[in-house]
Copies of this chain bind each other. A is one copy, B any other.
């Protein structure tokens, strides 16, 4: 069903069945479905729709009329609960819902975490869609722009070197860590480096892009510091530890969820434009870890 067909069909359905109890406002603007909102977002992504993508429906019926949208990093039970309280029924999450990149569920079997979440979503008619490959492929990368804005570094953005932030003045690593923690609302983070090291050229890789990409960024740009969301310790951490024998370089590990969260907040005004009249709320899923 295309958008125009949907509009006329749903208007007819409303007229036929809901007239006595439907307020005038609802009559004037028939709800978009989750799929129509997805289509509107994907229309802006160069090269999309992608043949192989993790950006698929994880729960619910994409033809559901949307009452409210929530953006988040992870569709946790807490985020789902708050979505229900808000009266929203469409969650756009950047990361997997079921604990693996492809959101495969067969391997989990009869699992309480899986069953509870699926039941909660089903019971409340909530649609979950992942927006990962698409938002990263957007020009500019929406996740990166959100994070740069949160760090007040968007003014240094250079589309020819999107991963590189050149600060106007060098600052000590300790100040850089404090700035990241404050800007991204991080309680504690791990790092490698000398806290007095002077940092000017920063390579920023939110999320978990993997050892070869993270090491490749260091090789290509020779930054003073690499800031990432998550890493494999036997890859990037050990590379940075060894590289420090020939060149002073630091590493800041923000945590996966908090490193990309502002990107899903960046999406809010985009969605308000694509789905006029539908409330859009960003709910941070937050870092699940504590430190001791």
Contacts and interface: CB of A to CB of B under 8 A. Distances in A.
A76 B215 contact: no
A288 B99 contact: no
A233 interface: yes
Nearest to A189: B292
Interface in A101-139: 101, 107-109, 111-113, 116-117
Contact of A253 (B232, B235, B242, B289): B289
Interface in A234-288: 234-243, 245-247, 253, 255-257, 288
Bin chain A's interface residue count: 35 or more
Given A76-B241, A76-B242, A239-B113, A101 B234 contact: yes
Nearest to A101: B234
Given A111-B219, A116-B245, A208-B233, A188 B291 contact: yes
Interface in A74-114: 74, 76-77, 95-96, 99-101, 107-109, 111-113
Please give me the 6 A-B residue pairs with the lowest Cβ-Cβ distance, nearest first. A190-B289, A233-B256, A113-B242, A113-B243, A241-B288, A99-B239
21 contacts: A76-B241, A96-B234, A99-B239, A99-B242, A100-B212, A101-B234, A108-B215, A112-B247, A117-B242, A177-B292, A188-B292, A189-B292, A190-B289, A190-B291, A191-B289, A191-B291, A195-B292, A208-B233, A230-B232, A234-B256, A241-B288
Interface of A: 74, 76-77, 95-96, 99-101, 107-109, 111-113, 116-117, 174, 177, 181, 188-192, 195, 208, 211-212, 215, 219, 230, 232-243, 245-247, 253, 255-257, 288-292
